[in-house]
């Protein structure tokens, strides 16, 4: 299932590739927002933490396609109240950058 959100002036989309429902929906959304920040700021790694989890999100910048959705892949390695978890999701921005002509 593909999700849409407007964030920092961008129309963002994401899809979970691998998730764990023992982690709350709010925590999973917080991880995606951290990935949005990384995507928009061109960051490769970020520490994350919240209620019941802490860890790191990383990306190597590669893009993948899952069905009709394509985006940059992010991985979250977490220590949680339930043990270790590995989540993956794809993130992309649908906001088109405007090109400026110098004519």
Q: For the chain, which residues make up each domain, given as ranges? A: 2-93
- For the record, the structure tokens of 35 come out as 């990935």
- For the record, the structure tokens of 15 come out as 């899809």
Residues 6 or more apart from 4 whose CB is under 8 A from it?
Answer: 11, 12, 13, 94
Of all helices (H) and strands (E), which one includes residue 4? strand 2-7
User: Which tens digit of pLDDT belongs to each residue from 58-102?
Assistant: 999 998 888 777 889 999 999 999 999 999 999 887 765 443 334
pTM here is 0.80
pLDDT at 44: 97
Residue 32 phi/psi, 5-degree rounding, is -65, -40
Of 2, 4, 10, 6, nearest to 69 (Cα)? 2
């Amino acid at each position: 299932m593909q999700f849409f959100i407007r964030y920092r002036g961008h129309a963002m989309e994401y899809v979970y590739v691998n998730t764990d429902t023992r982690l709350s929906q709010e925590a999973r959304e917080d991880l995606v927002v951290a990935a949005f920040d990384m995507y928009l700021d061109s960051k490769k790694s970020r520490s994350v933490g919240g209620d019941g989890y802490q860890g790191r999100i990383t990306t190597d910048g590669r893009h993948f396609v899952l069905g009709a959705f394509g985006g940059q892949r992010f991985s979250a390695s977490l220590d949680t109240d339930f043990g270790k978890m590995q989540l993956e999701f794809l993130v992309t921005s649908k906001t088109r950058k405007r090109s400026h002509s110098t004519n």
